[in-house]
Amino acid sequence: MGPRRVFSGIQPTGDFHVGSYVGALRNWVALQDQFDETIYCVVDLHAMTVPYDPADLRARRHESARMLLAVGVDPDRSLLYYQSEVPQHVELAWILGTLAGLGQLERMTQFKEKADRAKQNLGIFAYPVLQAADILVHKAHAVPVGDDQSQHLELTRDLAHRFNSRFGEEFPLPETITPEIGSRIMSLTDPTAKMSKSDPSPRSRILLKDGPDEISKKVKAAVTDTGSDVVYDWEAKPGVSNLLELFSVFTGRPIPELVDEYSVGGYGVFKGAVADAIVEGLAPVREAYDALDDAEVTEVMARGAGTARDRAETSMKTVRERVGIV
């Protein structure tokens, strides 16, 4: 068996929130110790499928790269680069697109969520195909993501399988890696909706860049449920359950133990402790972010793109041969 590879990507929002951190980025970092190769990508082409300002995108992709280094992506162990600097992603996306059925693409939840026809474009429709290409161009075996990406990963496996059956065994079918706790962190203002960058309310999410005061304010204002019991029950108490997951992840303590300890004392004490845990957990990330040098970030990303292009080109040589364009 050859080297075992991990690939994952994140959109360049610049200000990542704890949902992405807990659902995906923590695993990105941890998997550096568990796989032979870890490859991470700031997917700037994906970010162009919604209206945006070019200067803003330029700033956000740089900030995103800087934040990925701050959370612990180690450029000596991982390949880190901007998607747009490796054109082979788009080339493979075109080829995979010819294997993707319209019906299956129309069923993608993330596409349907943007089903407002006025906002639709070919990029949004083809979005999951480009995502599949990101993963397959590196022949990744595993993809650490949050729960909301499961359907896109299923499509990726389908496309890999279809390609292999039609043109010969080329791509491994990548497995999805989600954390046991925190694969779907919910909004602080509406615990029935996912914590998301696109929520109009900034109070709905905690950013990795937030300082102690902002974190405390947001946790204290978080919607909890009626009553005062701290119980882990997503049906009856989604708000409390969401905070319990964050609490558990940031302390490394099991949920039942936290429930035991905070079952008496009410929501006030509980929220105070949750806020402290998040503040403490994010302090090193903020410090690392502030300490990073812009020139260093730029240099890491340029180096990453060079290596990624070489790797992707090696994959594409065989792919082109297989599909008959060499």
Contact set with ligand TYM (CB under 6 A)? 7-11, 19-20, 23-24, 43, 46, 131, 134-135, 143, 145-146, 148-149, 152, 183-185, 194-195
* Alpha carbon distances (Å) from 279 to 31, 50, 133, 214, 283: 24, 32, 37, 9, 6
Which of the residues 139, 194, 237, 271 is marked catalytic? 194
**Residue 156 or 224 having the CB closest to ligand TYM:** 156
**Residue 143 or 308 having the CB closest to ligand TYM:** 143
Residue 209 annotated as catalytic: no
Minimum CB distance to ligand TYM, residue 72 (Å) = 15
Which of the residues 112, 119, 197, 237 is marked catalytic? 197
Minimum CB distance to ligand TYM, residue 60 (Å) = 11
**β-pairing, 78-82 with 37-42?**
parallel
Residue 114 annotated as catalytic: yes
Minimum CB distance to ligand TYM, residue 155 (Å) = 11
Minimum CB distance to ligand TYM, residue 111 (Å) = 11
36 and 3 in contact (C-beta within 8 Å)? yes
Minimum CB distance to ligand TYM, residue 245 (Å) = 10
**Residue 37 or 148 having the CB closest to ligand TYM:** 148
7 and 134 in contact (C-beta within 8 Å)? yes
- Residue 44 in 3-state DSSP? coil
**Residue 4 or 272 having the CB closest to ligand TYM:** 4
Residue 218 annotated as catalytic: no
* Alpha carbon distances (Å) from 275 to 67, 105, 262, 268, 280: 21, 40, 14, 11, 9
6 and 53 in contact (C-beta within 8 Å)? no
The separation between the first and the last C-alpha atoms of the chain, rounded to the nearest angstrom, is 28
Q: What is the dihedral of CA 282, 265, 182, 64, to 10 degrees?
A: -20
124 and 49 in contact (C-beta within 8 Å)? yes
Closest residue (Cβ) to ligand TYM? 23
Minimal CA–CA distance to 274: which of 185, 201, 194?
185
**Residue 114 or 322 having the CB closest to ligand TYM:** 114
Please give the positions annotated as active site: 114, 194, 197
